[in-house]
Amino acid sequence: MILLKKTVALFLLLALPLSLRAWGVQGHRVVGRIAENHLTDKARKQIAQLLGSERLPLVTTWADEARYSPDFSFTAPWHFINTPLGLPFAEYSATVTAMTQPNAYMALLQNMKDMKDATKTYQERVTALKFVVHIVGDVHQPMHVSRAEDKGGNAINVKFEGKDTNLHSLWDSGLINYEGMSYLELAALLDHPTAAQTTQWQKDSVPTWLFESYTISQRLYAETEQAPELDYRYVPAHLPTVEQRLLQAGIRLAGVLNSAFN
């Protein structure tokens, strides 16, 4: 029975479009690798005790895989958060913190709490850790902090390099794949924050992380409405944003983990 469930879950996962996976495998692993580079010795040891033979960058996509299994299907809403567009920060933050339906913000806070809770079982803490490393990456992908009516850009068709795709998929993996690097190479290229950036990014609140993505997604919506056929100017115009969001996610994830395990 267990083998059958795993087989069905794997089939469902492979049958689903890549656009449903935030940042794609590559992006999430970049975030995990950058975070790994900035862990304190104490946090590194405690995380190693939880993960055993698994490594942090390689468990960053576990939550995407798990949500297609019956045991974790309830976590599907944990990967995104939708609000109306056009809100200033104060109103946006109030809207997000007042939500009662499951979403990425609520899930992140709960799992951050659970992963360091000594009263939880070993497996519960491992599971919470895996959700944290994933959701931090998710909320830094702008199209995961957007609007519900177009499914975070999945329903917005665009042309990129002459091929049909959608806005969400393009930001999940299309722009990252354009780099043509392994996750280790891309993490090494990006992982050069200044001390001031590291300090500020790790001090920022979670609603601030969300609002940054929300602001970017609003701009992307407006651009795409004007010109859905993306030309050669799109990559150089937006790749710096992708790279910054990956770096910010990695640095902030390290801050969350260091705080939890120190």
Which stretches of the chain are DSSP H helices?
2-15, 24-37, 41-51, 56-59, 62-66, 89-98, 104-115, 122-139, 167-169, 175-178, 183-190, 195-203, 206-226, 234-261
Give the mean pLDDT of 114-138. 97
The answer, yes or no, to whether residue 68 has pLDDT greater than 50, is: yes
Measured between its terminal Cα atoms, the distance across the chain in Å is 41
H-helix or E-strand containing 181? none
- State the CB neighbour count (10 A cutoff) for residue 7: 10
The answer, yes or no, to whether residue 11 has pLDDT greater than 60, is: no
The answer, yes or no, to whether residue 4 has pLDDT greater than 70, is: no
Q: Which residue has the higher pLDDT, 211 or 22?
A: 211
The answer, yes or no, to whether residue 10 has pLDDT greater than 50, is: no
Domains plus CATH for the chain? 25-148+182-211+241-261 (1.10.575.10)
Structure tokens belonging to residue 232: 């050669």
User: What mean pLDDT value characterizes the chain?
Assistant: 90
State how far the Cα of 171 lies from the Cα of 178, in Å rounded to an integer.
11
Give the residue carrying structure tokens 């993996």. 173
Instruction: Classify strands 81-82 and 145-146 as parallel, antiparallel or unpaired.
Output: parallel
Res 22: pLDDT: 62
The answer, yes or no, to whether residue 15 has pLDDT greater than 70, is: no
Instruction: Classify strands 229-230 and 163-166 as parallel, antiparallel or unpaired.
Output: unpaired
Q: What is the dihedral of CA 232, 233, 239, 241, to 10 degrees?
A: -150
Rounded to whole angstroms, the maximal C-alpha distance in the chain is: 54
Structure tokens belonging to residue 229: 């056929």
The answer, yes or no, to whether residue 8 has pLDDT greater than 50, is: no
Res 24: pLDDT: 87
The answer, yes or no, to whether residue 19 has pLDDT greater than 70, is: no
Give the mean pLDDT of 161-178. 89
Q: Which residue has the higher pLDDT, 193 or 163?
A: 193
Give the mean pLDDT of 99-107. 97
Give the mean pLDDT of 62-82. 96
Contact 22, 81 (CB under 8 A): no
- State the CB neighbour count (10 A cutoff) for residue 260: 18
List, in sequence order, every residue forming a beta bridge with 216; answer none if it has no partner. none
H-helix or E-strand containing 154? none
Give the mean pLDDT of 205-213. 98
Task: Give the pTM.
Answer: 0.90
Give the mean pLDDT of 203-217. 98
Give the mean pLDDT of 227-251. 94
Percent over 90 (pLDDT), the chain:
80
Q: Find the angle CA(254)-CA(260)-CA(262) to the nearest 5 degrees.
A: 90
The answer, yes or no, to whether residue 6 has pLDDT greater than 70, is: no
State how far the Cα of 39 lies from the Cα of 28, in Å rounded to an integer.
17
